[in-house]
Amino acid sequence: MSFPTVGVVGGGQLARMMAPVAINLGIKLHVLAEAADVSATTAATYTVGDYTDYATLEAFAAEVDVVTFDHEHVPTEHLQRLEAAGVALAPGPGALVYAQDKLVMRRKMAELGLPQPDWRAVSSVDELLAAAEDIGYPVVLKTPRGGYDGKGVWILDSPDEAREATVWFNGDHEALLVEAKVDFRSELSAQIARSTTGQTATYPIVETIQTDGVADLVKAPAPDITDTTVAAARQAAETIANGVGVTGMLAVELFHTPNTEAGYMINELAMRPHNTGHWTQDGAITSQFEQHLRAVLGLPLGATDPIVPFTVMKNYLGADNHDLYGAFPLAMTKYPQAKVHAYGKSVRPGRKIGHVNVLATDGDLDAALAAAIDAAEIIRHGRTDY
Amino acid sequence: MSFPTVGVVGGGQLARMMAPVAINLGIKLHVLAEAADVSATTAATYTVGDYTDYATLEAFAAEVDVVTFDHEHVPTEHLQRLEAAGVALAPGPGALVYAQDKLVMRRKMAELGLPQPDWRAVSSVDELLAAAEDIGYPVVLKTPRGGYDGKGVWILDSPDEAREATVWFNGDHEALLVEAKVDFRSELSAQIARSTTGQTATYPIVETIQTDGVADLVKAPAPDITDTTVAAARQAAETIANGVGVTGMLAVELFHTPNTEAGYMINELAMRPHNTGHWTQDGAITSQFEQHLRAVLGLPLGATDPIVPFTVMKNYLGADNHDLYGAFPLAMTKYPQAKVHAYGKSVRPGRKIGHVNVLATDGDLDAALAAAIDAAEIIRHGRTDY
């Protein structure tokens, strides 16, 4: 056995961030990129190709030892065909569908007996109105497939708003998902890795603050939850990982609902490294990116312990500053402890272009939060006033 | 200002290990590699070329924003010519010569008033015999240039052995360096970064255990030295960094001599990331590789604090096992906390091919030592008996 090549479908920042750990481990990374100028192409070898084209996927798979994913948008039928052809997929289509299709996911969570918002599959505005009446307003309407970072999600406060949803029943989906809008105290994320061998390793439960549907800030571990909720959330991640047979990293997004018995409800699943796990790059013994590579290669999983009492991750999204590097000096002068990550992407408003991790080595979470937020804002807005 | 490109002359593992931090920071790394199959070529873009050829260096420099080094073997006259032509070199030849030429270095340390072994420049066996008599046997004879990892170094125990050194006065060097063989308690390394702006940042003093002239094991920070020696060693690193005007990482290798006033003597200098600093990849807020890139780019330097009480680094050198990856499962199963680094090099006996870092998160240095040593031995010898 020599050092293997991991193929990643999709050239976004998640693929990019697998590259440093691949280099460290001596493993080769090869990316199927949407274009030559996407995030991962300056970090790994790549082929440009269309992941919705079966022949492209097949040719790519022939070049690598195992195929994994930067995103969940590869058509299920292509994945099934690749699997039937003997391609090692991690995760496989049987697992990935639960991250691709929110209706299939809701059914599975019910089958696994895990707490989740009241939900219905609806195929028309009439069904939506009836379901929403039953669930109680406000409700959340979601497209089962294709949504991410808040896209494909609508909050409906009244029957009047629900009646306006006609446009969403446009034939792209057999049915839409409608579910209760949960009155949560905060959002949590439970990450777990599951190897091809079945071994699992769970990360600390983190708190994630979303802004406009995008994970924006992470506190690791989550500071304000009980040990009971931590244990329940970790158990849920384990139940799901084994229940769906995932390979690689699984992120279970949770609503923290301390007034319910379990203390949480399942929101969504992602089967890949996840924005809520970027803190592990600097704050955990084994980063989620290393863990993902280990899991898809069937290597033993690494320790998931945090290295310091708290780590904070703050995203920076595209804004008015296009010269990110020009803002590094001020951010780094003010915060020599900040770990600045940049994705090699051009700046567009609202686009995820980087993040900052700050380790609270002394346990001072508030100071770490303030540092991470300010450093990210400096880069985002290009302040150089020092 | 957009994200810059750092050029590295030399494609060894030090260049390779700059790649992950360059990716994290969004910086581009371009390597002048000795051949297409050296360590760094699977981690960064590269040009194959001969670093002893001026035209090759000139063409390489034109492709990048700043030129730095994986090793100290580029001829000084080429560096001077590049500098005169306006190429940004970090470090520049005026500094690098102190890491290239041990006689020039010894003179400079004397000028800076820093403690070092008694030494002489000798040009013949007669001069060597006189100097060794004066210094007292055993003495160490060194070629001023070209030696590394124990090469170009001979220990002479008696006049008889000194007389046999005729062969070393072969005309390649104007003079050789002879110095006292220091009766040290241990070897230390003081690392400091100095930016193009003159800013400096000193790392914790570490203990390094050499085997056959190769740094083999590092304990960070050094467990058995007094605060006075730590302060003196850090001050020496600062004095040298500013005294020679280095840009980038400087490693000052020290003999720990607790029976002397300062508690240390200067052994050698290296002006690049150094084997004794590999622990910082996993055990410090800012790794030496990130710090080197920051320093050569004139970015503010990062915090050098260790994240945990102790970190251990253990090299693994080529031995009987050629299937390194095949030994990963046992090493990773036994030591989920171990950070395994592989350099993408083919296995040759005694060749540095990787290292293992283990963080003593609980402060148990002995346990971390045992884990790092065993994990490295498993990989080196290919044990799979589990």
What pLDDT shows up at residue B372? Answer: 97
> How far, CA to CA in Å, does A378 sit from each of A177, A360, A374, B332, B376?
39, 20, 6, 40, 42
Task: Kindly report the CATH number that applies to the domain delimited by B186-381.
Answer: 3.30.470.20
**pLDDT tens, position by position, B174-212:** 899 999 999 999 999 999 999 999 999 999 999 999 887
CA separation for the pair B369, A332 (Å, rounded): 33
- pLDDT digit string, tens, across residues B6-24: 999 999 999 999 999 999 9
Phi, psi of A65 (to 5 degrees): -90, -30
State yes or no: pLDDT of A27 exceeds 90.
Answer: yes
pLDDT of residue B149: 61
Note the pLDDT of residue A171: 67
State whether A342 and B26 contact (CB < 8 Å).
yes
| Cross-chain residue pair A336–B302, CB shorter than 8 Å | yes
User: Which chain B residue is nearest to residue A360, measuring alpha carbons?
Assistant: B307
Does A372 show up as a binding residue in the annotation?
A: no
On whether the CB atoms of residues A344 and A16 are closer than 8 A, the answer is yes
Token pair, residue B125, equals: 């066996």
CA–CA separation, A117 and A257 (whole Å) = 11
- CB contact under 8 Å between A301 and B336, yes or no, is yes
B8 sits in the region (left: phi over 0; alpha: psi -120 to 50; else beta) called: beta
Q: What is the pLDDT of residues B149-171, one digit of tens each?
A: 667 889 999 999 999 888 788 76
> Are the Cβ atoms of A285 and B4 closer than 8 angstroms?
no
Is the sign of the CA dihedral A345, A346, A351, A356 positive or negative?
positive
Contact between A57 and A82 under an 8 Å Cβ cutoff? The reply is: yes
Q: Which residues contact A126 (CB under 8 A, 6 or more apart)?
A: none
- Mean pLDDT value across residues B126-130: 96
Bond prior to A221 in cis (omega within 30° of 0): yes
* Residue B52 forms contact with A (CB below 8 Å): no
Nearest CA in chain A to B328: A299
Q: Taking residues A56-62, what's their average pLDDT?
A: 98
Residue A309 at interface with chain B, using a CB cutoff of 8 Å: no
- Which among B43, B328, B342 has CB closest to A299? B328
The pLDDT of residue B146 is 75
Tell if the CB–CB gap between B300 and A21 is shorter than 8 Å: no
Average pLDDT over residues A25-31: 98
Residues 174-233, chain B, touching A (beta carbon < 8 A): 201
To the nearest whole Å, the CA of A16 is away from the closest chain B CA by 8
Q: Do B1 and A336 touch (CB under 8 A)?
A: no
User: Which residues 80-139 of B are in CB contact (within 8 Å) with A?
Assistant: none
B302 touching chain A per CB within 8 A = yes
Cα atoms in the Cβ-side hemisphere of radius 13 Å centred on B330: 17
Residue B332 to residue A285, Cβ atoms within 8 A: no
Residue whose C-alpha is closest to residue B281's, from A25, A136, A94, A150: A25
Residues of CATH 3.40.50.20 domain(s) within chain A? Answer: 5-89
**pLDDT higher than threshold 60 for residue B247:** yes
Which of B285, B332, B343 is facing A302, going by the closest CB pair? B332
A142 is in an annotated binding site: yes
pLDDT tens for residues B53-73? 999 999 999 999 999 999 999
pLDDT at A148: 62
From B171's Cα to the closest Cα of chain A, the distance in A is 42
> Residue B277, SS3?
helix
Partners of residue B2 in chain A, C-beta under 8 Å:
323, 325
pLDDT exceeds cutoff 90 at A151: no
Residues of A in contact with B201 (CB under 8 A): 336
Q: Do A19 and B20 touch (CB under 8 A)?
A: yes
Name the residue with higher pLDDT: B385 or B290: B290
Q: What is the mean pLDDT of residues A54-66?
A: 98
Locate A67 and state its tokens. 């195929």
Chain B partners of A352 at a C-beta cutoff of 8 Å?
none
Return the pLDDT at B123.
Answer: 93
Nearest CA in chain A to B20: A20
Q: Tell if the CB–CB gap between A344 and B26 is shorter than 8 Å.
A: yes
Mean pLDDT (chain A) is 95
The domain over range A118-180 is classified in CATH as 3.30.1490.20: yes
pLDDT class for A385, splitting at 50, 70, 90? low
CB A24 to CB B341 under 8 A? yes
pLDDT tens sequence across A225-280 = 999 999 999 999 999 999 999 999 999 999 999 989 999 999 999 999 999 999 99
Residues of chain A neighbouring B359 (CB-CB closer than 8 A): 285, 307
Nearest by CB to residue B323, choosing from A2, A4, A25, is A2
- Portions of chain A given CATH number 3.30.470.20: 186-381
Flag if A285 and B343 touch (Cβ within 8 Å). no
Distance from CA of A344 to the nearest CA of B (A): 5
* Residues of B in Cβ contact (< 8 Å) with A333: 300
Looking at per-residue pLDDT, the higher value among B385 and B302 belongs to: B302
User: Angle at CA B336, nearest 5°, toward B331 and B342?
Assistant: 50
> Distance between CA A120 and CA A163 in Å, rounded?
17
CA proximity to A15, closest of A48, A38, A49, A35:
A38
Q: Which of B6, B30, B66, B285 to mutate to test the interface with A (most CBs of A within 10 A)?
A: B285
- The residue of chain A with its CA nearest to that of B382 is A1
Q: Is the pLDDT of residue B1 over 60?
A: no
**Domain B5-89: which topology?**
Rossmann fold (3.40.50)
pLDDT tens for residues A162-182?
A: 998 887 887 677 899 999 999
Which of A2, A300, A308 is nearest residue B333 as measured by Cβ atoms?
A300
Chain A from 318 to 357: CB within 8 A of any B CB: 323-326, 328-329, 332-333, 336-337, 339-344, 354
Closest in A26, A300, A323 to B344, CB measured: A26
CB contact under 8 A, A307 and B359: yes
CB contact (8 A) between residue B332 and residue A299: yes
- A268 is an annotated ligand-binding site residue: yes
CB atoms B325 and A26 under 8 Å:
yes
Which residues does chain A have within 8 Å of residue B341's beta carbon, measured at their own beta carbons?
Answer: 24-26
CB–CB contact A328 B21 (8 Å): no
Q: Is A181 flagged in the annotation as binding?
A: yes
B63 annotated as ligand-binding = no
Question: Is some CB atom of chain B closer than 8 A to the CB atom of A3?
Answer: yes
Q: What is residue A384's predicted lDDT score, i.e. its pLDDT?
A: 66
Reported as a single tens digit per residue, the pLDDT across B325-362 is 999 999 999 999 999 999 999 999 999 999 999 999 99
Set of chain B residues whose Cβ sits within 8 Å of the Cβ of A344: 3, 23, 26
Q: Which residues of B touch A17 (CB under 8 A)?
A: 23
Q: State percent of chain A over pLDDT 90.
A: 90
Comma-separated ranges of CATH 3.30.1490.20 domains in chain B? 118-180
Q: What share of chain A is helix, strand, coil (3-state, %, to 5)?
A: 35, 25, 40
Min Cα distance A44 → chain B (Å) is: 7
Q: Do A307 and B302 touch (CB under 8 A)?
A: no
User: Any CB–CB contact under 8 A between A305 and chain B?
Assistant: yes
